[in-house]
Amino acid sequence: RFLKRIRHELLSQLPENESYDLVINTLFESWKIYNNSKAIILFIVPEKEFNIGDQMLIEKGLLSHGNYSLLIKHVTFIDICRYCFLDSKGILYFGDFEVALIYYRSGYDPKHFYNEDIWQAYIMLESSRAIKCPSLRYHLAGMKCFQLALTEKKFLEKIFQEHEQYIDDFQDILEEMFTIDQIINDPILQQRILDKPESFYLKQSREGGGNVYCGPLLKEHIDKIIANKESNRYFLMSRIYPPINTGLIRSSRPNNNNEFILEKQINSELGIFGSLISQDGTVIYERVGGSLLRSKLATNIEGGIASGQGCIDSVFLV
């Protein structure tokens, strides 16, 4: 809408972004697959939620589907402990309502599981017949240990049994990854780290921003991880050097000259949205649509939006 007001002729260079439609339609299809028009949808949210805006848009989109009387509840793991139970058939109930779909907006950070009751609530959700978004398996697929498996040719040969011609192309886009144990047992790799510590990233296995180490203190962080017996929590990756571009960044705070919009050197990361619904290893729904472009200052190591290190950007076709 903003671009339409100021430079209407550039609209054709700003592609449609259908990511919200993708999320909404996939959640709706999941609810329909459960096949109980009276069953509800649970949004599992943190106890202190600051990211409510897009949740409300998704809820509005779900409720806009005509001819269906959807009921959506935003609940925490504490609410699950208090009001949810399973019957003998594995059907999940929230009070008197049968639950068709669980949409996790919490549960991706160890800090969310701060007592045994919450762990038991999560186990109950995962043990139920309700459809989970994401399921435990898909959630774990985002961890670095699974990404490491994608660098192994034997693993790829298993995946691409009928399309082995793609294996080499797939490996060409992968960067080197190492476990901490590999570092311990490989003197050559240890020397590479000492010689060029800026050429590697040390990351936590789990998905999400934060806790990325790079540069002169890299060896010190690795030694600390080994001493604390946390080797399984971290992985070392070869650093990717994306192209640097000039971009306009709008800050929430003005600089010393009271300017909110600044011209900076940035690099960007483009993510393409996709969705998948499967049952017993069979894909029953699959779609691709929309994107997320995140940009950060080229001098920054971190690029998280919530942490304030990066920002949401827009794709502009040239």
pLDDT attached to residue 187:
96
Q: How confident is the model at residue 208 (pLDDT cuts 50, 70, 90)?
A: low
Q: What is the 3-state secondary structure (H, E, C) of 212-257?
A: CECCCCHHHHHHHHHHCCCHHHEEEEECCCCCCEEEEEECCCCCCC
- Whether domain 15-140 has CATH 3.40.50.1760: yes
Per residue in 119-175, pLDDT tens? Answer: 999 999 999 999 999 998 888 888 888 888 888 888 888 888 888 888 888 888 888
- Whether domain 144-238 has CATH 3.30.1490.50: yes
Q: Residue 71 half-sphere exposure, CB side, CA atoms within 13 Å?
A: 12
Q: Is residue 38 over pLDDT 70?
A: yes
Q: How far is CA 162 from CA 170, 174, 301, in A?
A: 14, 21, 39
Q: Is residue 314 over pLDDT 90?
A: no
Per residue in 18-31, pLDDT tens? Answer: 999 999 999 999 99
Average pLDDT over residues 209-221: 84
pLDDT attached to residue 209:
59
Overall size of the chain counted in residues: 318
Share of the chain above pLDDT 90, in %: 58
CATH assignment of 245-313? 3.30.470.20
Per residue in 49-74, pLDDT tens? Answer: 888 888 999 999 999 987 788 999 99
Higher pLDDT, 49 or 35: 35
| Domain range annotation of the chain | 15-140, 144-238, 245-313
Looking at this protein, which amino acid is placed at residue 298?
Answer: A
**Residue 63's Cα: distance from chain center in Å?**
25
Q: What is the pTM of this model?
A: 0.88
pLDDT attached to residue 27:
98
Fold match between 144-238 and 245-313?
A: no
Q: Is residue 287 over pLDDT 90?
A: yes
The bridge status of strand 84-86 relative to strand 282-297 is unpaired
For the stretch 268-272, contacts whose Cβ atoms lie closer than 8 Å and that sit 24 or more positions apart, written own/partner, are 268/242, 268/293, 268/294, 268/295, 268/296, 268/313, 269/242, 269/293, 269/294, 269/295, 269/303, 270/315
Beta carbons of 310 and 294 less than 8 angstroms apart: yes
pLDDT attached to residue 210:
63
Per residue in 238-277, pLDDT tens? Answer: 998 899 999 888 877 787 888 888 889 999 999 999 999 9
Per residue in 159-188, pLDDT tens? Answer: 888 888 888 888 888 889 999 999 999 999
Asked which of 142-146, 196-200, 217-221, 281-285 is least confident by mean pLDDT, the reply is 142-146
Q: How confident is the model at residue 91 (pLDDT cuts 50, 70, 90)?
A: very high
The whole-chain average pLDDT of the chain stands at 90
Helix, strand, coil shares, percent, the chain, to 5: 35, 25, 35
